[in-house]
A and B are shown apart, each in its own frame.
Chain A
Amino acid sequence: MTALVATMRHARYVVSENPVTGLSFGLFLLIVLAALFGPFLVPHDPLASNTTMALQPPSAQFWFGTDQLGRDIFSRVVVATRLDFGIAVASVVLVFCMGGLAGVAAGFFGGWTDRIVGRIADTIMAFPLFVLAMGIVAALGNTVQNIVIATAIVNFPLYARVARAEANVRREAGFVEAARLSGNGEWRILVFQILPNVIPILVVQMSLTMGYAILNAAGLSFIGLGVRPPTPEWGIMVAEGAAFIVSGEWWIAFFPGLALMIAVFCFNLLGDGLRDIVDPRRRT
């Protein structure tokens, strides 16, 4: 309980010390709110087409304008948050568990565990990652679930390697020997001594790859894999709008692209802020 209070106080200190971190936390909150409540708040039905209002520029009625079918782009951008954010969170949590555990075990136990995890990571790294993600989605089937799995697999080496390196330097640390003297078994040391030291670094990694995961999901949809129209999704919307940029209707692609950019930007900044909060050595 006191630890929680101390953490909260420290979090407030970090945010007040670094306004950029504060900004990223604000943006993150906005994204979470949009993901949770977006569909109930938007002014128009994101799927309702109205050809009489097609290709309207941004106005008081349609804040971000309308697309070629007369759908409100603002509503579509907000509603799409849930899907994009959901895919990113799900895949990042999945890879955090898989890659983090595999990497920590590889770094701590060494030997065969290390070799197997290392070779799997190398094999994945050997492919161009986006092409690998395309291949996985194409092979497994065109569903949201498979986008999540593909994004997780593509990110696996990043997590496994970071976790492995961090666990490996702590393998011979004095506190690990002390834990053995205290009667902790090897698995217990892995989970209760090593893992807490690796998690802060993985959390930063999580926040950074979250941006990449959103880009990956949007990228897959952009080339026609994964989410299918008319579902509102940033990647599809950019793809649809791309055809109209030449004829001057810039807003169709611009606003979903902007949303994508802000989300990625926010997650990258968030990583640094989170590290400051999670790492007790930064605590004064």
Chain B
Amino acid sequence: MTATLDPTTAATVHAAPPAETPLLDVAELRKRFPVSGTIGPLGRLRRRMKGGPVHLPHVHAVDDVSFTIGKGETVGLVGESGCGKSTLVRVLTRLLDPSGGIVRLGGRELSLTPAKRFAKDPDRGRIQMVFQDAGESINPRFTAFAAIADPLRRLRGLRGAALTARVERAADQCGLPRALLTRFPHQLSGGQRARVGIARAVAVEPDLLVLDEPTAALDVSVQVVILQLLERLKAELGMSYLFVSHDLGVVRLICDRVLVMYLGRIVEQGPARAVFANPLHPYTRALVDAAPSLHDRGAGRIRLQGEPRSPIDPDPNVCRFYGRCPKGTDRCRTEMPALRRFGVRDVACHFAEETAAR
């Protein structure tokens, strides 16, 4: 992605320092899914009667993840498909219950309320989400108006004229022409659908907005417009963003900090500029190198080969990246590297010092 945002807004965003008390505080978050979920309650009963193995194999989708998001901060979350980004996002937005760990929003521990009951929680409106596929995230039987009005009705209790006024204001804020509010999603273009999805999420004025690859399904010219819109909304409404993306160019452009995830764990985190300019983890290096460049022809790049290790009951003593890592040594096979402080950032690699020194 070569297009640039308005340089003035981009600069101010990068200059914003993280606030003292974080808005979102995630500590040692874990999410595991049983693999043999298909045996059903009868099978489980039979297993229990027989006294068979209590432990089922689990997919470790999110494993020991800790990070914070400050007020007004934009944090990027990158990683390949299947690395647990979506699961992490669904745990944070309280659509899924974590298997362990803490999600704290402005001091309140959200993970204590089960996801099933969280829909009616007074804090429900404080975390909202913009979905990857805007078309699929709007009910095909709802008009744009009904889609934007739904959270306002349920979470803010607005009705009648107040509701109409608020929906129209949200549409104006997101650059959605009011005339389009009576349309069904299939009558809107991709960019217009994205605006409906964003209007629905920001209408209730959340503190934290999770953006799950909001531009992935759009063509490049529309992407820029939507990114500019997101920048403007953030400044107007004072929200924090968690920006999930494959597109490192976009992340570099709009994020203050970045989290790099690999197989359920954070392998590197820190200020976006520092991380992208000089990656300390070989996986981050490989991600940065994978972006095509005109200047070098690929000499000295890290190219990843093969598939990630299995996420099913991974060995806790082996680095998750071992096997694909160009550095992998015997130490990586016997000792899982912890996330260590390294200047302004954290890196989970035994060779971070070595890489930094070079």
Contacts and interface: CB of A to CB of B under 8 A. Distances in A.
A56 B142 CA distance: 59
Given A181-B124, A181-B128, A175 B119 contact: no
A196 interface: yes
Contacts, number: 76
B300 to A, nearest CB: 41
Contacts of A183: 119-120, 124-125, 151, 154-155
B131 A197 contact: no
Contact of B141 (A115, A174, A197): A197
Nearest to B136: A174
Nearest to B134: A174
B136 A196 contact: no
23 contacts: A115-B40, A174-B133, A174-B137, A175-B136, A175-B140, A177-B90, A177-B131, A178-B147, A179-B139, A181-B128, A181-B129, A181-B151, A181-B201, A182-B150, A182-B151, A183-B120, A184-B119, A184-B150, A185-B119, A186-B119, A196-B139, A280-B186, A283-B187
B259 to A, nearest CB: 22
B116 interface: yes
A175 B142 CA distance: 10
Contacts of A2: 182
A180 interface: yes
A175 B116 contact: no
B51 interface: no
B120 A197 contact: no
Interface in B120-174: 120, 124-125, 127-129, 131-133, 136-142, 147, 150-151, 154-155
A194 B120 CA distance: 19
Nearest to A183: B154
Interface residues of A, number: 23
B137 A182 contact: no
Nearest to A189: B119
Contacts of A184: 119, 150, 154
Contact of B140 (A111, A177, A197): A197
B68 to A, nearest CB: 22
A112 B41 CA distance: 9
Contacts of A30: none
B186 A281 contact: yes
Contacts of A174: 131-133, 136-138
B200 interface: yes
Given A181-B93, A183-B119, A175 B154 contact: no
Q: Which of A112, A178, A180 has the most CB of B within 10 A?
A: A178
A281 B141 CA distance: 9
B95 A180 contact: yes
B322 interface: no
A186 B114 CA distance: 13
Interface residues of B, number: 35
A7 interface: no
B120 A178 contact: no
A33 interface: no
A283 B95 contact: no
B184 interface: yes
A253 to B, nearest CB: 46
A184 B230 CA distance: 26
Interface of B: 40-41, 90, 93, 95, 116, 119-120, 124-125, 127-129, 131-133, 136-142, 147, 150-151, 154-155, 182, 184, 186-187, 197, 200-201
B134 to A, nearest CB: 8
Q: Which of B120, B131, B139, B200 has the most CB of A within 10 A?
A: B139
Nearest to B40: A115
A142 interface: no
A283 B186 CA distance: 9
Contacts of A181: 93, 95, 124, 127-129, 151, 201
A182 B40 CA distance: 31
A179 B133 contact: no
A84 to B, nearest CB: 34
Interface string A160-202: 0000000000000111011111111110000001001100000
Interface in A88-113: 111-112
A180 B119 contact: yes
Given A175-B136, A177-B137, A184-B154, 16 more contacts: A2-B182, A111-B41, A173-B136, A175-B137, A175-B138, A178-B138, A180-B95, A182-B155, A182-B200, A183-B151, A183-B154, A184-B150, A185-B120, A196-B139, A196-B141, A281-B184
Contacts of A197: 139-141
A177 B138 CA distance: 10
B272 to A, nearest CB: 27
B339 to A, nearest CB: 30
A183 B115 CA distance: 11
Interface string A272-284: 0000000011010
Contacts of B125: 183
A181 B154 CA distance: 10
A105 to B, nearest CB: 16
A175 B196 CA distance: 12
Contacts of B90: 177
Contact of B150 (A112, A177, A179, A185): A179
A199 B201 CA distance: 28
A189 to B, nearest CB: 9
Q: State the 7 A-B residue pairs at the shortest beta-carbon distance, nearest first.
A: A174-B137, A182-B151, A183-B154, A174-B136, A196-B141, A175-B139, A183-B155
B119 A283 contact: no
Nearest to A2: B182
Contacts of A173: 136-137
Contacts of B129: 177-178, 181
Q: Which of A184, A186, A197, A283 has the most CB of B within 10 A?
A: A184
A264 B83 CA distance: 55
